[in-house]
Chains A and B, each alone.
Chain A
Amino acid sequence: MANVSVAAEWQLLYNRYYRKPELYPMRWKHVDLARHKVAGAPFGGPVAVIRDDSKIVQLHAESALRKLRLFNSAGHPLADAVWRHPGGRLIGMSWNDDLTLVCVVQDGTIYRYDLHAQLVEPNISMGKECFEQNVADCAFWGNGVVCITEQNQLFCIPDFRNPKPVPLADPMIDEPPRCIAVIEPQYTMSGNVEVLLGVADDPVVLVVEEDGVQRLGEGLLRGPLQKMVVSRDGKWLASFTHDGRLLVTTSDLTGIIIERECEADENLRLIKPSLPEAVEACVDASGHEFDVSRQRTLLRAASYGQAFCSNFQRDRIQEMCKILRVLNAVRNPEIGIPLSIQQYKLLSPSVLIGRLINAHRHLLALRISEYLGMNQEVVIMHWACSKITASLSIPDATLLDILLDKLKLCKGISYAAVAAHADKNGRRKLAAMLVDHEPRSSKQVVPLLLSIGEEDTALMKATESGDIDLVYLVLFHIWQKRQSLEFFGTIQARPLARDLFITYARCYKHEYLKDFFLSTGQLQDVAFLLWKESWEFVKNPMASKGSPLHGPRIKLIEKAQSLFAETKEHVFESKAAEEHAKLLRIQHELEVTTKQAIFVDSSISDTIRTCIVLGNHRAAMRVKTEFKVSEKRWYWLKVFALATIKDWVALEKFSKEKRPPIGYRPFVEACIEADEKAEAIKYIPKLADPRERAESYARIGLVKEAADAASQAKDGELLGRLKLTFAQNAAASSIFDTLRDRLSFPDVKVPFACLMSSE
């Protein structure tokens, strides 16, 4: 291509050169832009076109129904939809950041469309005021919109992801503004949107925010503005003045950037560029070029020049080739995304891929992500979901194979997410089949299974995972969804779930737990619950001891007893409950007769002890008989009780009643513990075992008697132990040594009896 023609395309504007190449001859037919409302998406995105109903137009050979039509940048039709929305005229439409087409109609309703001209539910309303006052105009930005009503009130939706209309401050103007522009929230100081209004006959710009209105540009502007545009980064404002000047100011209207002509720095162009710079320039230029053959020419030149530069980064050219391949692929009229290189860099490859898959260009997206070494998961995932949506007539098993074939290309892809989509499309069985292939986290799979109603599988997977939290998740879900009996049946078959339910219910759902046990026939567990409840009467402040409230308490225990009796395995518990009820009755009586509230809720043994301590031997005897307390236990209890009240006479009498069934050890122990040596000496000789005798003497410090008994026992270990007991007493120590020598026992080591000497 001749150099002259290339250079001739460039025009100087201020201090830069610009050109305006034609990217595509538009392929569309019968689109007269003058009779249409048009919205073009940034970054080489699609174009939306609809007949402008505010203009009177002559209909040629076309339907009277209006159609919303979507094209790619080359005018290649993408999709269309008949426009039959109520709500009055279409006021404005625009593409937002995620390529949703947003359309505002007169009554403040906002309709949204996706790339395929499908209506995105739900519709959004700008609110009651807009409905009543009618929307007169609107201005969009990346993710929001501002509407002005016919009464000059402003409302905005700051973020379509959370579409709540917010009223802005009243600009207090009578006439509609001449022009309107917005500064996006992300570029304002306050973080809220700022609306710029150019008003009639006033040389200022009104800045309207949620909480106030400011006047800007006073003294800077010489008259009202006709048209305003804010730069993408929100820093600059370009405007047309009433007198036909083009003005570029800062967006806060504090300084004028351009109003006059500047001299181009011709000298700069005269500096002869060095070779590396030239190569660099060629590479750069190729990037900005849309024409493929020119790209080639430039790159070839760069490659040639590069050979003569030693320090030029060689991969620069490779990199550029890579980028251009991607750009050329998407610029293809079939795809129709005429991205410039800056736009591509701003947009980033991953967003581009996102746009391609959104447009259902999966193959290209896959190739590009492969070519750029990116993760293909996004593409395959989207493909799989689209495939499911589009394959309503393909049977589950066949579709599963088709999907698996591609899904396996990508290691670690979430089958769960695909399954979720299948479920959303009403293909529950397919979803379940897909989940089965999910090797990953049960944390993702389980909630999904719940959402598709596969509760039993969810419970199984949760149990397998060992994550109790997941099991609870499923448990509560089923609990809420099913009838009690059905729920009980489900968990009864699953031990872990059942145990967890019981643990939780024990704390928080006592009555419900009873129902569960009754329904599953676990009567003994009901019995335990009732028995436990019987203590609630004790905790209840109203239930003071000895009051008639013991009635219901005992009844509960008796009910527990009869439930225990239902099963052979719980005879013991049944008997225990019976005894407990009986004990409470007796204790209640005792409290009445003794007028002392000290019996209820003590054990049988304690009750006997208390009776003896109080001197009520008849009552003690009665308790003994009622509960068939063994003679053994009886002796220990009575001996210790008598020692407690130091009734040594009664103790001696008791010892002589009959030969004690467990000998005299209880008597000795009780006396020694009470530190009554004289009393102990009465019983020690009666101990049958000489070893016990020796130890007992030793405990009350009678060395000689201990030694005598020990020599009878002929126990070397015992001697050693006794010697250590008397370690501080040299005389005693020698007695044991002599004894041991006489009996010829070796020196036996006794652990732990050795005392630390306190030196």
Chain B
Amino acid sequence: MAQIPNLDNAPINLISIREQSQKELINILKNIRGKKCLVIDPKLGDSLSLIIQTSLLKEHGVELRHLSADHIQTDCTKVVYLVRSQPNLMRHICSNIHHDESKGLQREYHVYFVPRRTVVCEKVLEEEKLHNMVTIGEYPLYIVPMDEDVLSFELDLAYKECQVDGDTSSLWHIAKAIHKLEFSFGVIPNLRAKGKASVRVADILNRMQAEEPVNSSDMVMPEINTLILLDREVDMVTPLCSQLTYEGLLDEFLNIKNGSIELDASIMGLQQEGEKTKVPLNSTDKLFKEIRDLNFEVVVQILRQKATSMKQDYTEMTTTSQSVSELKDFVKKLNSLPEITRHINLAQHLTTFTSKPSFLGQLDMEHTIVESQSYDICFDYIEELIHKQEPLTTVLRLLILFSVTNSGLPKKHFDYLRRELLHSYGFEHITTLNNLEKAGLFKKQESRSNWLTIKRALQLVVEDTDTANPNDISYVFSGYAPLSIRLIQHAIRSGWRPVEEILKLLPGPHLETKRGAFSNSPSFDSLSGVSTGIAKVPDGRRALVLVVFVGGVTFAEISALRFLCSQEGMAYDLIIATTKIVNGQTLVETFMEKLG
């Protein structure tokens, strides 16, 4: 599977993390002798595809199945369940085993929980009287490297669980994952956090360090200099705006899942009619690495240039006589032809979406809402979307953006739109509305919005953004600089202090602290205060900042961070970690829940 990304150029040794996870999984399989049926919960299976190749699993006598309510059909007498420790998944396991029992099938069951066994899952097994029939184990997978600079905790429901259910399991998971990283790369000496969840993660992380300290004496210098934690709640505007970078748009329209997209083979110029093909998207693809973070507009031009120049070369090749070295160069160029073709096909396909009037209208509306100037126009537009029964996620996405920038809607409008939604899409969506209200995403206005102040103070809307030669992160949304990344820009450059007043306008507390053995060491002051000194690691590489998004991050934001990294005078390399890579649609979907 070409899906497993190449991590050779990662700023920290991510290969060892991945290999460790591979080894742990193989060991589990090795310890259960003989042929066995491995039943994986589908979402976990997706994550695992970034860790290990299916063929490797099969080498260990594994028959692969996806976990569902349907019973397992296999000749194996040993069944190994590999599931995330979520109580609702236990249901399927229980019904599987009960089915086997009713059919008189004698099997040996193992349940491996990811990342660890939990009381609540075992409780379910106990209530179903199955706990004596299964052998329980753990597979401590806390982090999945998505690319050379992106890590995912694979907690797709984290934001909703925290905000709606009050279930903060994900925060412990994040802290544990960071703590595990610290065991490999040293205690991170500087910490900055903004948002309730992030500050809590920092707190749990410090507790873990107190209870189970990373031995700092055998680590000369920590490999990661600074940890920045940011709540998604702090910036709910950015993920709801349509991403305009190449990778972002691919995700918006084609849904990048674990570093690849699936589309009709015909789109990629392949012969098989009606068949699907998988296209991996990561830094292993050199051309993709070059263009993924650019504004799509520019990508189109670059691809066109490449194609044209290739065509020119070809014409020259056939019409004039060439020296051997010129031939060589040409052949070299030819090697990149498959990549160029691939991305021309993809970009071509994307334009069928981007040129639709509905998309242009939506973009226009997003900008109007972010500008926060014409309340009535926005309200009417959304009302009309509901009346036309446009897809609910599309409607909610704009509606939430509208509500968040206005810090809620006046009661009359709030009730009216809720009623129109229920009338148009069905009363079962009352739960979705309830969830959104609990999370504060679509609610009654209780105080004046300070979005305008924030927008102005942080220069979030930038006129005359040159998308081709950008000098600011605003290029990723053609004129809107993502709030989240602006904050991180400040956090990296000068710490929280200069922006403290603005931070107070955003939800949740903020925190800036030193940790571990370095809490008293002046040489590590470089990141704090007004000093912009650079903490150089001895071998001359740039110091490393780990940016953690609690609640998800979009590709456009990742692109903006990479852009910051590439700027001259930037003292840091960045590595990004997130509960899950999201976009407006997937984020909204986590809150959608039908009564029925």
Neighbouring B residues of A500 by C-beta, 8 Å: 120, 166-167
Contact assessment for A476 and B387 in the assembled complex, using a CB-CB cutoff below 8 Å: no
Whether the pair B116, A531 counts as a contact (CB closer than 8 A) is no
Q: B175: which A residues are within 8 A, CB to CB?
A: 466
CA distance A753 to B430 in the complex (A): 38
Q: Of residues 300 to 346 in B, which have CB atoms within 8 Å of A's CB atoms?
A: 300, 303-304, 307-308, 311, 344
**Which of A500, A627, A633, A759: most chain B CB closer than 10 A?**
A633
B-side interface residues, number (CB < 8 Å) = 67
Q: How far is the CB of B595 from chain A (nearest CB, A)?
A: 5
8 Å CB interface, A560-583 against B: 572-573, 575-577, 579-580, 583
Known: A508-B127, A605-B423. A572 touches B415 (CB 8 A): yes
Interface string of A694-732 (1 = CB under 8 A from B): 010001000000000000000000000100000000000
16 pairs, CB–CB < 8 Å, chain A vs chain B: A466-B172, A468-B168, A469-B169, A473-B119, A502-B165, A503-B166, A508-B127, A528-B431, A535-B596, A572-B418, A583-B427, A601-B596, A602-B426, A695-B357, A756-B344, A759-B308
Is B440 among interface residues, defined by CB-CB distance under 8 A? no
Q: How far is the CA of A632 from the CA of B347 in the complex (A)?
A: 39
Indicate whether B296 reaches chain A with its CB closer than 8 angstroms: yes
CB distance from B248 to the nearest CB of A (A): 13
* Residues in B neighbouring A632, C-beta threshold 8 A: 383, 387
Q: Which of A609-650 contact B (CB under 8 A)?
A: 627, 629, 632-633, 636-637, 640
B residues with a Cβ closer than 8 A to A are 87-88, 91, 116, 118-120, 123-124, 127, 165-169, 171-172, 175, 200, 203-204, 207, 210-212, 244, 296-297, 300, 303-304, 307-308, 311, 344, 347-348, 351, 354-355, 357, 359-360, 363, 383-384, 387-389, 415, 418-420, 422-428, 430-431, 434, 467, 478, 595-596
Cross-chain contact of B595 among A440, A476, A498, A535 (Cβ < 8 A): A535
Query: Do A753 and B426 form a contact, CB below 8 Å, given A440-B211, A759-B311?
Result: no
Cα distance A496–B167 in the bound complex, in angstroms? 7
In angstroms, how far is the closest chain B Cβ from the Cβ of A250?
A: 35
Bound Cα distance A500, B308 (Å): 60
Question: Are A439 and B210 CB-contacts (below 8 A) given A507-B87, A605-B389?
Answer: yes
Q: In the complex the two chains form, is A629's CB within 8 Å of B423's CB?
A: yes
A498, A573, A633, A752: which contacts B430 (Cβ < 8 A)?
Answer: A573
CA distance A409 to B415 in the complex (A): 66
A468 and B169 contact, Cβ closer than 8 Å, known pairs A442-B211, A508-B124: yes
Closest Cβ–Cβ distance, residue A578 to chain B (whole Å): 10
Question: With a CB–CB cut-off of 8 A, which chain B residues contact A538?
Answer: 596
Judge whether A472 and B172 touch: CB under 8 Å: no
List the A side residues contacting B303 at CB < 8 Å: 756
Closest 9 interchain pairs by CB? A499-B166, A535-B596, A466-B204, A752-B354, A603-B426, A468-B169, A580-B427, A604-B423, A636-B387
Residues of A close to B200: CB separation below 8 A = 466
Q: Is A311 an interface residue (CB 8 A)?
A: no
A699 to B116, CA, bound (A): 57
A58 within 8 A of partner (CB): no
Kindly list chain A residues whose C-beta atoms are within 8 Å of the C-beta of B430: 528, 531, 573, 576
A469 touches B118 (CB 8 A): yes
Contacts of A440 in B (CB 8 A): 211
Most buried by B among A632, A699, A758: A632
Contact A535 B428, beta carbon cutoff 8 Å: yes
Chain B residues near A469 (CB, 8 Å)? Answer: 116, 118-120, 169, 172
Cβ-defined contact, B304 with A466, below 8 A: no
In the bound complex, do residue A499 and residue B423 qualify as a contact, i.e. CB atoms below 8 Å apart? no
A495 in contact (CB, < 8 A): yes
**Please, which residue of chain A has its CB at the minimum distance from the CB of B201?**
A466
Question: Chain B residue with minimal CB distance to A750?
Answer: B360
Per DSSP, are chain B's interface residues mostly helix, strand or loop, or mixed? helix
CB distance from B363 to the nearest CB of A (A): 8
A469-507 interface (Cβ within 8 A of B):
469, 472-473, 476, 495-496, 498-500, 502-504, 507
By a beta-carbon cutoff of 8 Å, the part of chain A in contact with chain B is 439-442, 464-469, 472-473, 476, 495-496, 498-500, 502-504, 507-508, 528, 531-532, 535, 538-539, 572-573, 575-577, 579-580, 583, 601-606, 627, 629, 632-633, 636-637, 640, 662, 695, 699, 721, 751-759
Q: A670: nearest residue on chain B (CB-CB)?
A: B388
List, in ascending order, chain B residues with CB within 8 A of A572's CB.
415, 418-419
Given A528-B431, A601-B596: A755 touches B357 (CB 8 Å cut-off): no
Cα distance, A751 to B303, chains bound together (Å): 16
Answer whether A605 and B424 are a contact pair too, CB < 8 Å, given A439-B210, A531-B430, A756-B300. yes
Q: Which residues of A contact B389 (CB under 8 A)?
A: 605
Q: Which residues of B contact A532 (CB under 8 A)?
A: 431, 595-596
Q: Which residues from A are CB-within-8-Å of B212? A: 441
Which residue, B165, B420, B423, has most C-beta atoms of chain A within 10 A?
B423
Nearest A residue to B595 via CB reads A532
Interface pair A753/B307, CB less than 8 Å apart: no
Total A-B Cβ pairs within 8 A: 157
Q: Name A509's closest neighbour in chain B (CB-CB).
A: B127
- State A579–B428 Cα separation when bound (angstroms): 12
Give Cα A504–Cα B304 distance, bound, in whole angstroms: 55
CB of A751 within 8 A of CB of B297, answer yes
Residue of A nearest to B430 (CB): A576
CA distance A483 to B240 in the complex (A): 47
Is there an interface contact between B171 and A466, defined as CB atoms closer than 8 Å? Answer: yes
Tell me the bound Cα distance from A605 to B395 in angstroms: 16
**Contact indicator B168/A466 (Cβ below 8 Å):** yes
- Bound complex: CA A355 to CA B77 (Å): 48
User: Pick the contact of B427 from A495, A539, A579, A721 — CB < 8 Å?
Assistant: A579
Q: B176 — nearest CB in chain A belongs to which residue?
A: A467
A603 to B423, Cβ gap below 8 A? yes
> Which residue of chain A lies nearest to B349 when distances are taken between CB atoms in the complex?
A756
Q: Are A476 and B123 in contact (CB under 8 A)?
A: yes
> Given the complex, which residues of A lie within 8 Å of B297, measured CB to CB?
751-752, 754
In the complex, A110 Cα to B335 Cα: how many Å?
A: 83
- Which residues of B have CB within 8 Å of A468? 118, 167-169, 172
- With the chains together, A607 CA to B498 CA distance in Å? 57
- The reply to whether B166 and A755 form a contact with Cβ atoms under 8 Å apart is no
The answer to whether B210 touches A476 (Cβ under 8 A) is: no
B386's nearest neighbour on chain A, judged by CB, is A633
Question: In the bound complex, do residue A758 and residue B311 qualify as a contact, i.e. CB atoms below 8 Å apart?
Answer: no
> What residues on A are CB-neighbors of B172 within 8 Å?
466-469
**Closest residue of chain A to B169, judged by CB?**
A468
Contacting residues, chain B, for A502 (C-beta < 8 A): 165-166
Q: Which residue of B lies closest to A695 (CB)?
A: B357
Chain A residues positioned under 8 Å from B124 (CB to CB) = 508
Asked whether, in the complex, the Cβ of A699 is within 8 Å of the Cβ of B388, the reply is no
Q: Which residue of A lies closest to B308 (CB)?
A: A759
Q: Which residues of A contact B168 (CB under 8 A)?
A: 466, 468, 496
Contact of B387 among A633, A756, A759 (CB under 8 A): A633
- The chain A residue sitting closest to B593, CB to CB, is A532
Contacts of A464 in B (CB 8 A): 207
Interface contact B304-A757, CB-CB below 8 Å: yes
CB proximity of B373 to chain A, nearest CB, Å = 17
Task: Give every chain A residue within 8 A of B354 (Cβ-Cβ).
Answer: 752-753
By beta carbon, the residue of chain A nearest B594 is A535
User: Is B595 a contact partner of A531 (Cβ separation < 8 A)?
Assistant: yes
A576 touches B167 (CB 8 A): no
> Which B residues are in CB contact (< 8 Å) with A636?
384, 387-388
Q: How far is the CB of B354 from chain A (nearest CB, A)?
A: 4
Output the least CB separation between B565 and chain A (Å).
25
Contacts of A504 in B (CB 8 A): 87, 120, 123
Which of A439, A466, A499, A753 has most B Cβ within 10 Å? A466
Partner of A759, one of B87, B118, B307, B418: B307
Which chain A residues lie closer than 8 Å to B384 at the CB level?
636, 662
Given contacts A466-B172, A468-B167, contact A601 B423 (CB under 8 A): no
Q: Separation in Å of the B356 CB from the closest CB of chain A?
A: 9
Write the nearest CB–CB distance from A224 to chain B, whole angstroms: 47
**Contact A753 to B360, CB < 8 A, known contacts A466-B200, A535-B595, A627-B423:** yes
